[in-house]
Amino acid sequence: MTAFATNGLARAHHTWSTTTPAPGARQILLVNLMPTKEATELQFLRLLDATGVNCDVTFAYPASHQLHHQRAAVLKHYLPLDRLWGTRFDALIVTGAPVEELSFDQVDYWAEFQRLVAWSKTHCRRAIFECWAALAALNVRYQIPKAPLPHKLFGIFEARVNPASPLFGGLTKLRMPQSRHSVLRLPATLPANLQVVAKSQGIADGLLLATKDTRELFITGHPEYATDTLDQEFHRDQARGRTINPPQNYYRHHQAVNSWRTTSCRLYANWLTI
């Protein structure tokens, strides 16, 4: 295995094999904002492991966040961000969070998140922000606002990409799960250092934005999702009485089909080795 968990619930519960860290492995800080902590850990560990790039993954949480799920376990097996401000990492990954229907300043860890975005510029060689974290980081970095969608953007979406870009080596297209209620309100002219590098029909803001050096990625979806994650979310929302359509481009003969795994692994592998 190439992904070593230095801490976290999957390591504590032995749902991820504890291997010996590889010499020279990339040090990755993964800030897990999801309430489904262990499931999210495993999704990212499997994705990173599939890249073939040796990684030591440290899981962290915002110290200012009021934990409502598995509080004791998270406090025991995660590191709070306020213990890491003096540490440097090869890469930062920040997950999505189920807070996108709130305004940014209503999120209890918003001030700490703003500090995280600023800190990443000086303490991490590269960074990925996913889903809500992508929208939030773009707001912090470039003051780009978000707006609510009339209906949840939900399903698998595809974009053609430029294989000449080091980010997309080995790829001609990118597939990605989307599961969100908000959209970026991109300006007519993007900030000088920002570009949309993967745009999909039917999605106003694109699948992926990046800085010109491609070391910072703002991914509006979830390349890490397991095959059944969208199916679970669909039935969860139905059970809660929400009006929701089945995820697009996802089911085949009433079965969930994972059509994004290969491109997700290549995207992450390319990003880690740029």
Residue 205 pLDDT more than 80? yes
**pLDDT score recorded for residue 233:** 97
Catalytic residue among 124, 216, 224, 265: 224
**pLDDT score recorded for residue 21:** 83
116/124 Cα distance (integer angstroms)? 10
Residue 245 pLDDT more than 80? yes
Catalytic residue among 131, 158, 253, 254: 131
Tell me the average pLDDT across 118-138: 98
- Annotated active-site residue 100? The verdict is no
- Annotated active-site residue 77? The verdict is no
Residue 164 pLDDT more than 90? no
**pLDDT score recorded for residue 1:** 77
pLDDT digits (tens, 9 = 90+) for 101-120: 999 999 999 999 999 999 99
Catalytic residue among 222, 233, 235, 265: 222
Whether 194 contacts 142, CB under 8 Å:
yes
User: Is residue 160 very low, low, confident or very high in pLDDT (cuts 50, 70, 90)?
Assistant: very high
DSSP for the chain?
--EEESSSHHHHTTSS---PPPTTPEEEEEE---S-HHHHHHHHHHHHHHTT--EEEEEEE-TTS---SSHHHHHHHSEEGGGTTT--EEEEEE---TTTTS-GGGSTTHHHHHHHHHHHHHHEEEEEEETHHHHHHHHHHH---EEEEEEEEEEEEEEE--TTSGGGTT-SEEEEEEEEEEEE---SS--TTEEEEE--TT-SS-SEEEETTS-EEEESS-TT--TTHHHHHHHHHHHTT---PPPBTTEETTEE---SHHHHHHHHHHHHH-
pLDDT digits (tens, 9 = 90+) for 252-261: 999 999 999 9
**pLDDT score recorded for residue 69:** 84
- Annotated active-site residue 224? The verdict is yes
